[in-house]
Structures are given as structure tokens and as C-alpha cells.
Copies of this chain bind each other. A is one copy, B any other.
Amino acid sequence: ACFSTSSSMAKSKFEYVRSFETDDSCLRNCYIVVRLDGRNFHKFSEQHKFTKPNDSRALGLMSRSAHSVMAEMEDIIIAYGQSDEFSFVFKRTSNLFKRRASKLMTHVASQFSSSYVFHWKEFFREQPLLYPPSFDGRVVLYPSNRNLRDYLSWRQADCHINNLYNTVFWTLVQRGGLTTTQAEDRLKGTLAADKNEILFSEFDINYNNESAIHRKGTVLIWEKRDETVTKRVKLPNEEEKEVPVTRSRRRVQDHHCDIIGDQFWEEHPDILEDDNC
């Protein structure tokens, strides 16, 4: 009993250590981007026999996990993913977690990671998950719409460059019979045009016909949908009747389109807030 009393007193004696925490809240009126990257996913993908150059199950699971993150944090206005990375953009006026960077990025990293394991079986079926994977994260702030769009363009250009390379590389290996070393040598110094040409002239592949999810990555945005449900309503004469009720609901929708040009942004004018605020 004596100990317990002193322990409670001790707690207040130790509590000064809280003052060592520092405030890391993000500058206001900036877009907050949290980007996750898979850790050691090269090894992870080999151990789990991901198909090359793209594994649809893995991309589907990434997207599923990102949906889970967005459902938890409605202030995320757009997310973009490719390969083993995913970026989440919080609206510039968000006040979630008082804009504390540490809370935002750990919550995103945690929710994404637990979802990845939770939903694994839906995508990989009999292929077991051998160990729990990890994603690291970072926070970056963008003050203007132009900066934010350039960030997303940077990631999508990166997706394009990597996917074109991987597509040619694995075609040379899988269909052309080259070793991985030979394929690497073959591609050294080639430009995008050269890679397209190899695909087209040697393998009759038009890269632009490859599936959009691989060439463009995955864009998640909120969309309003009218949903009609039937509701039982009590009439004045005490009878009940089923009536259709339509209401607008926000839900996250996948896209695999270009987000570098203006068209996407013109079609979805609600994503970005006005710079002049």
C-alpha cells in the first residue's frame, strides 16, 4: 500500500518528461503530403513470387490498403500509388490531429500496414504471407496548387519511366530469352523511344496499349454518388409503405489516368482549393 501511494506521487514527479516533446505541427494553408515506401520490397516481392514486371494482386492490395487509409481520414483529398509506394494528400485547410506531422504520418503508416496484412488473403489467396512487411513514411508540405500538382506529376512520371523500363526488361528476359544481365546491358543508355521501338519491332507490343494501371498508377479520389435505398415510411393512416430514398454519398473511387495534364483537374475541380486563400 505504501508503495502504491508513492507511485502515484512518483508519477507527478516524473511527469516533467512530457515537456521534452516538441511541437511539430505543419505550416498552415499548405497541402500535407504523406508518402509511404515499402521497406526491402525487392526482397519481399521475390519471396512472395510477385509476377514480373507487374503483379496485379500486389497492386490491388496496395490500393485496398490505401482505401482503408482514406476511409479513416476524410481530409485526404487525393492519393496516388505506384509500385510499392503510395502518397496521401491532406487538404490545405485540414486541422486533423492539429496538423501534427508525427501523428499524421504514423497514423497513415500504421493503418496502411495493418490493412495490408489484413487484406492479404483477398488478393493472394493460397500464397501465404511469410512475415509482416513494413512501410516507412515522410511528410512534405506544398504551399501552392502548382507545387502539389508538380509533386503528383513527379510521381507519375517516375511510374512511367520505371514501368516502361521494367516492361522491356522482362519482355527481353521472358520472351526474348535473354539473361537478366544481358537484358540490362541491352537497355543501358537507351531512351524511351528506343525502348518503345524494341517492344514494337521485336515483340509486336504497342506500349500504349499496355494496361493503364501499370502505365499510370492508381489515383484515388472521393466521388459523390447518388444511392437509392428503400425505406419503410409510416403513412398518416397508420399503414406502412416502402418508398425509394435517394441520397448522395461520398465514396473513394479508383482511376488510372493521366494526372500530369490539365484534363483530369478540369474534370475534378473540387479536389484543389483556391490558391487565393
Contacts and interface: CB of A to CB of B under 8 A. Distances in A.
Interface of A: 1-5, 7-8, 10-11, 14-25, 27-30, 36, 39, 68, 72, 97, 101-103, 105-107, 109-119, 129, 131-147, 150-151, 153-154, 157-158, 160-161, 164, 191-193, 195-197, 207-208, 260, 275-277
Contact of A102 (B21, B133, B137, B260): B137
28 contacts: A1-B197, A4-B192, A5-B191, A7-B157, A7-B192, A8-B160, A8-B192, A11-B161, A17-B151, A18-B154, A20-B141, A20-B147, A20-B151, A22-B27, A30-B143, A39-B107, A39-B110, A102-B138, A102-B139, A105-B106, A106-B135, A109-B113, A110-B135, A111-B134, A115-B132, A117-B132, A144-B276, A146-B276
A107 B132 contact: no
A17 B192 contact: no
Given A39-B110, A144-B144, 9 more contacts: A4-B195, A4-B196, A7-B160, A16-B150, A17-B154, A20-B142, A21-B140, A107-B136, A114-B116
Copies in the complex: 4
Contact of A136 (B110, B141, B147): B110
Nearest to A108: B106
B28 A20 contact: yes
Contacts of A19: 28
A17 to B, nearest CB: 4
A105 B107 contact: no
Contacts of A129: 118
B5 A192 contact: yes
A188 to B, nearest CB: 15
Most buried by B among A72, A142, A154, A195: A154
